[in-house]
Every structure is written in structure tokens, then in C-alpha cells.
Amino acid sequence: MASSSGTCSGSSMMQNSGSEGDLQELMDQRKRKRMISNRESARRSRMRKQKHLDDLVFQVGHLRKENSQIITSMSITTQHYLNVEAENSILRAQMDELSHRLQSLNEMISFLNGNNWGSEIDQQPYLYSTVLNETLDDGFFMNNSCWNFVCVNKPIMATAPADMLQY
């Protein structure tokens, strides 16, 4: 009996250790599957991160290029604006000069009308320049303060201030 019980217990242990071995093997197999699955998941995660990084780098490049184009366009627009402002300043100066000349001519006409020369000038407007030229030849207006403001045939010169043309 002793031998049979020893055999029996020995075979029971064999079955026990066989089922533990299968269980351990099953656990090891599941563990390996999980490790492989985790590695694959980590690889996919790294690939997603790399793709996201590549997309961001591309977007940065695109935005820098767009920003550069906007800056260039803004610079050109600013230069055009400054040119228009300079031209506007010149035109204002010319307008002021022409207004001043017109005022001086109106003062001369008023002066001429006050000396009874107006009736001849009113009848024939094209004689304005003739009367003025003859009067200048006689030297009548040379000492008149009104004439000092009138500059006949003087070109209108106006330029923009130097600091306005710089950008």
C-alpha cells in the first residue's frame, strides 16, 4: 500500500504540475501577446506623433511663407501710400501758390478798376494781359506793393519734405 499510495501521490503531483505548467504556459503566452500588442500600440502612437510633428512643421513653413508675403505686400502698400502722401503735399503747396497768385491778380484787377481802367478791361477780357504788359513797360507797377506778390510766368515749384519720402 505504501507503494501504491506513493505512486498515486506521485502521479497526482505529475498531473498537478502538468496543469500548472499548462497554466503557466498559457499565462506566458498571454503575457507575450500583451507585450506584442503594447509594442504595436506604442509604435502606432509614435507614428501618430511623428505625423503630427511633420504636419506642424509643414504648417509652420507655410505660415512663415504667407507671413513673408504679407510683410512684402504691406511694405509695397506703405511705399505707395507714402508716395501718394508726398504727391498730395506737393499738390497742396501748388494749390496754395495758385490761390495766392489768384488773390494777387484779383487785387490788381481791383486796383485797375479803381483807376477807371476797368471799363476797357471789362469790355475786352483778352486785353488783361496787354494792359498789364503795357503798364509794366511804363514802370507803373514796379514800385507798387501789390505787384510784389504777383510773379507772372514764374514756375510753381513744390517738393515733399525729405522725411516724408523716407520709409
Q: What is the pLDDT along the chain (167 residues), one digit of tens a residue?
A: 444 444 444 444 445 556 888 889 999 999 999 999 999 999 999 999 999 999 999 999 999 999 999 999 999 999 999 999 999 999 999 999 999 999 999 999 999 888 755 455 455 544 455 545 555 444 544 444 444 444 445 555 555 555 555 54
Q: Whole-angstrom Cα distance, residue 162 to residue 90?
A: 12
Q: Whole-angstrom Cα distance, residue 107 to residue 91?
A: 24
Q: Whole-angstrom Cα distance, residue 109 to residue 103?
A: 10
Place of cell 505686400: 73
Domain count, the chain: 1
Please report the pLDDT score of residue 147 as a whole number: 47
**What is each CA distance from 2 to 83, 103, 152, in whole angstroms?**
119, 146, 149
- For the entire predicted model, the pTM comes to 0.44
Q: Whole-angstrom Cα distance, residue 144 to residue 150?
A: 11
The grid coordinates listed for 151 are: 510773379
Please report the pLDDT score of residue 155 as a whole number: 55
What is the SS3 assignment for 152?
coil
The grid coordinates listed for 28 are: 506566458
The grid coordinates listed for 158 are: 513744390
Structural domain containing residue 127: 2-165
Please report the pLDDT score of residue 145 as a whole number: 47
